[in-house]
Amino acid sequence: MVGGGGNRYKYRVVLVSSVSLNVEVGDFGGWDIVVQRMKEASKITGNYIDFLKQVDLKTSLQTARDNVESWGQDTIDAAVAINSQVTQLSQYITEAKQTYKHTKEEAKQKQQQVRDGMHRVRQTQRDVQNKIGGLKDADSLRMIMDAKCNAKPRELVKAAHVRERAVEATKDAETQYHEAIIYHNEMVNAWCTYARPTLSIFQDKEEARVKMLRESLWSFANICSLLAVNFDQHQENIRSALLRVNVAKELSTWVAIHRTLQTPPMPLVYTPTSYTSCNTPSLTPSTSVRSTLTEVSSSSNSSDGSSPSESEVSLVEGQVITVMDKSNSEWNLVRTSNGVLGFVPAKFISSSRTYTK
């Protein structure tokens, strides 16, 4: 931040946690595709249900019935046929509502299972990383005790027990991580297996709607054909309106939009976390301890200092930076010693500062 007299404050970076800024390995890239396909299917289903709920067709049929009843028994028979079409449309609307409601509830349940599986994968993955860190600390403690000349046997035994417990905890975490991966893959496969036939069901419903609408319109035209010659002009108007209805084009367009060749997302593959023991007999105790600490520091820096985007800068613990702007409570604009500008989370910057001119 710019101070009085053109002075700047220099801050020292303190990485307060070991959470990496990178996108985690278990992210499901195909989830957006699945959600988008479900939204489109729900939207189309809602559209054709709303279309069927409209009273324009029913009102026009009832109006035609009232107008032709005066023409005798033939017009009464035409009204009965029109009522049959209206009843058929109403029944189809009710069935479509029930199907949509049941499918929507089941789809929500499948989606929640996929989310739970992904949350479980991420949680177990973080647990494995924590257990690996504990194992590294146990190895370092054991090597330090081995390097001490005056170390007591009791302390050596205690350090060995600590390492054994860390190894067991790491194995348990790896097992849970493996099981979480398997569970997540099963849920994704179940969702994909459910989503494909669901879209086919919606497509069948749409095809049935178009077919029923076409049959209703043509039935109405055939009924009107039985009317008297004085009704000829109205009959021609109806036929002209029916000729403008391109049912085949509407159906082919809907199928072309919603029938895709997208493949289901690839399942996650379980890979054990690699870990190399720091116990090397060829090294002296002092060099072994130094190399272990260096390895831990380098691995911590490589994970904590990673940046998720080009607008951020990679920093390491203890690096001195210059804060250019602190107006945002979450991100600060900083300049490194190499002159690189970028954003850093405010929580990673310690409150200790040095005042320079």
What is the chain's pLDDT, residue by residue, as a tens digit (357 residues)? Answer: 434 444 444 444 444 333 333 344 444 445 566 666 667 666 766 665 555 555 455 555 555 555 555 555 666 666 777 788 778 877 887 887 788 788 878 888 888 888 888 888 888 888 888 888 888 888 887 787 777 777 777 877 887 888 888 888 888 888 888 888 888 888 888 888 887 888 788 778 778 877 877 777 777 777 666 655 556 665 565 555 555 555 566 667 666 776 655 566 677 777 777 766 655 444 444 433 333 333 334 444 444 444 445 567 777 777 778 888 877 777 888 888 787 888 888 877 765 544 333
Rounded Cα–Cα distance for residues 215 and 221 (Å): 10
Provide DSSP, 178-195: HHHHHHHHHHHHHHHHHH
Amino acid at position 5, single letter = G
- CA angle 323–328–330, rounded 5-degree value: 95
pLDDT score for 236: 61
Looking at beta carbons, which pairs linking 36-43 to residues 24 or more positions away fall under 8 Å? 37/195, 37/199, 37/260, 37/262, 38/107, 38/111, 38/195, 40/257, 40/258, 41/198, 41/199, 41/202, 41/258, 42/100, 42/104
CB atoms within 10 A of CB 306: 12
pLDDT score for 51: 55
How many residues are there in the chain? 357
CATH class as words, domain 25-267+290-304: mainly alpha
Residues in contact with 201: Cβ distance below 8 Å, sequence separation at least 6, in sequence order: 99, 103
Q: How does 143-175 read in b/e, with b if 16+ C-beta sit within 10 Å? A: bbbeeeeeeeeeeeeebeebbeebbebbeebbe
Residue the block writes with tokens 């990178």: 22
Among 89, 183, 87, 146, smallest CA distance to 281 is for 146
Kindly report the backbone phi and psi dihedral angles of residue 275, in degrees, each rounded to the nearest multiple of 5, phi listed first.
-150, 125
* 70 three-class SS: helix
How many helical (H) and strand (E) elements, i.e. helices and strands, does the chain have? 7, 5
CATH number, span 1-21+305-357: 2.30.30.40
Provide DSSP, 4-20: GGG-EEEEEE-------
pLDDT score for 336: 83
Rounded Cα–Cα distance for residues 336 and 208 (Å): 66
Residues in contact with 226: Cβ distance below 8 Å, sequence separation at least 6, in sequence order: 74, 78
Q: Locate CATH 1.20.1270 in the chain.
A: 25-267+290-304
Rounded Cα–Cα distance for residues 246 and 253 (Å): 11
How far out from the chain centre does Cα 325 lie? 34
pLDDT score for 115: 86
Q: Locate CATH 2.30.30.40 in the chain.
A: 1-21+305-357
